[in-house]
Amino acid sequence: MSNFVVSARKYRPVRFDEVVGQRHVSQTLKNALQTDHLAHAFLFCGPRGVGKTTSARILAKVLNCENRTADYEPCNVCPSCVAFNNNASLNITELDAASNNSVDHIRSLTEQVRFAPQQGEYKVFIIDEVHMLSQQAFNAFLKTLEEPPPYAIFILATTEKHKIIPTILSRCQIFDFKRIQPNDIIEHLQGICQQEGIEADEDALHIIAQKADGALRDALSIFDRIVSFSGKTITYEAVIENLNVLDYDYFFRAVDYILTEDRSGMLLLFDEVLKGGFDEDLFLNGLSAHVRDLLVCKDPATLQLLEVGERLRERYRQQAGLAPANMLLTVLDLANECDLNFKLARNKRLHVEMSLLRMVSIRRAFRSEPPVIQAADSVEVPTPSSESNLPAPAAPEKKSPEQSEDPEPAPEMTPVQAPAPTLGSASFASVDMTSLIAEAEEEVEHAVAPEELPELDAEHLRGAWDVFVTEQQGTPLAVFLKQALPILQGEEEVVVKVGSARAIASLREDDSLIRHLRSTFQRPNLVMILEHDESLKPVQTKIKKRLSAKDKYLQMREKNPALDELRKRFDLRPEE
């Protein structure tokens, strides 16, 4: 029969210094032993596979060790340590609360507490997965846990601290174990490789550490599986094949296709991923993580967050230098939107492909020299956003019939760069080129020569103002404009005086007035300045009080006193 022992058991730590990634817990326990400030009950809580039960066993062994080292580690040679290592120690009791969670099991445990240790100083009780105890078992355990004999030490371990009742928590000294960092896992695996004579690529060990998600026991289990698969040589390719992990190269190629706007390349890459047996969302989430790592490489302060080998780190640096940060943020936004709606999509492949094509289309917005929008007849047309810089074409000159046979070619228009779409928008990559061209052509058709511009003076300004107020009749904006006073200053400036701050805020939010004036007078650079004028503050109208019948009678009597004699003659009384 094989004598193979899994790495998680074979290389289980036997000293505090050997516990990986939990130095804050180990050092605290050693200091407590040194100063003799040891509690009677401990609670070790944290994720799975991070060393909770291992630390509990080391502490139990140190408590009864006959020859502790100078730094309060177990000697592993005294009878107590040897008995513990052989699972023959009578002073240490382990209980798995997952399968022993009833009141009877706890009562049996408390019965053992009554008997003093026959050898050694302490009796240590380790209860693993303590959150699995029933409510009655917790209640039966309370009194013993609060006032145990001086020789009894309780060490409780759990992965779900929130399931333990507060009365138990208040009686324990709590230690929180943290997830083990990938670098610590890699260093531990490299030590095992040296002892076992195994050659392993650093990138392969990085993949194992990332797959373990902070649990060293999971990392050792994966390591054993890879060794069984590839033997004494662990390569990066063997690890990604065995663990069904997408190669980094796929994501580097995907970002390259985004940078070069290669739509066909992106679709073929995605098809290659699907043919490899990977799910659509796996590629999408992997691409998001890759783009996140590229953003991390942008700033030296965050470079330490990149958890890859040195060879890949240099490749990340090179690609991060080519990709603008804003573009990477937009890719992340599109990937996140696709991931949120992925479960609702019927055709999941098409859903992801649409997002990938949108990612490929955003590069144009971040070029140092954005492409010029061209009309169908290859004439460069300015966009509507460049309205303020649009030069008005000269008025056509009248020519004689002889000259009309050979018309002079139209003056060449100055090309204007297309504006970059707004970041963060879901439809960031979809620029409607047709509508932009149509609006630009319409703007050119309505362009007017400088000498044919409508006259702009106080009288014409007031006329255009009244026309706009009439069009806005019935809206709150019309009410504010009726109380405002427009004043023309210079040729390109209109000062609007209003009587309330609310009116100023409303006019700032709604730019329809200035657009109306610019369109009416054909002056795209016209500026509107808002000023507060207390003299234009609207007068508060007095609300008329509804008069009763008696009030009406009194008013009528003031005008005609004879009404009072008529009331007395007929004994009339006005209603209240």
Mean pLDDT in consecutive groups of 10 residues from the start of the chain, 576 residues: 77 88 89 87 90 90 86 86 84 86 86 83 89 88 86 91 89 90 89 89 86 88 88 86 84 90 91 88 91 88 78 84 88 92 90 91 62 40 42 45 45 44 40 47 49 73 82 74 79 79 75 81 79 66 64 82 80 67
Start-to-end C-alpha separation, the chain: 112
Fold assignment, 182-242: Helicase, Ruva Protein; domain 3 (1.10.8)
Signed CA dihedral, 108, 112, 113, 115: sign only: positive
CA angle 564, 567, 570 (to 5 degrees): 150
What 3-state class would DSSP assign to 456? coil
CA distances from 10 to 143, 196, 227 (A): 38, 11, 15
CA angle 358, 361, 363 (to 5 degrees): 130
What is the C-alpha to C-alpha distance for residues 325 and 296, in angstroms, rounded to an integer?
10
What is the C-alpha to C-alpha distance for residues 521 and 464, in angstroms, rounded to an integer?
9
94-106 residues labelled b (16+ CB within 10 A) or e (exposed): bbebeebbebebb
CA distances from 537 to 129, 315, 482, 513, 529 (A): 74, 66, 11, 20, 18
What 3-state class would DSSP assign to 54? helix
Nearest to 304 by CA among 182, 178, 179, 180: 182
What pLDDT shows up at residue 338? 92
154: CB partners within 8 A, 6+ apart:
40, 41, 42, 124, 125, 127, 145, 148, 172
What pLDDT shows up at residue 377? 41
Containing 95, the helix (H) or strand (E) segment is strand 92-96
What pLDDT shows up at residue 399? 45
CATH no. for 248-366: 1.20.272.10
Other CB atoms within 10 Å distance of the CB of residue 474: 7
Domain boundaries, the chain: 7-176, 182-242, 248-366, 369-385+417-447, 458-536, 544-576
What is the C-alpha to C-alpha distance for residues 189 and 204, in angstroms, rounded to an integer?
11
Other CB atoms within 10 Å distance of the CB of residue 236: 21
Tokens 């990332």 correspond to 210
22: CB partners within 8 A, 6+ apart:
50, 51, 55, 177, 178, 180
Containing 157, the helix (H) or strand (E) segment is strand 152-158
Signed CA dihedral, 377, 367, 425, 421: sign only: negative
CATH for 458-536, among 3.40.50.970, 3.40.50.920, 3.40.50.720, 3.30.300.180?
3.30.300.180
Say if residues 13 and 21 touch (Cβ distance below 8 Å). no
Q: For helices 280-298 and 310-322, give the axis angle rounded to 10 degrees.
A: 80
Assigned token pair, 483: 């109380």
CA angle 185, 187, 193 (to 5 degrees): 100
H helices present in 412-457, as ranges: 433-445
Other CB atoms within 10 Å distance of the CB of residue 116: 11
Fold assignment, 7-176: Rossmann fold (3.40.50)
What 3-state class would DSSP assign to 135? helix
Assigned token pair, 166: 């507060």
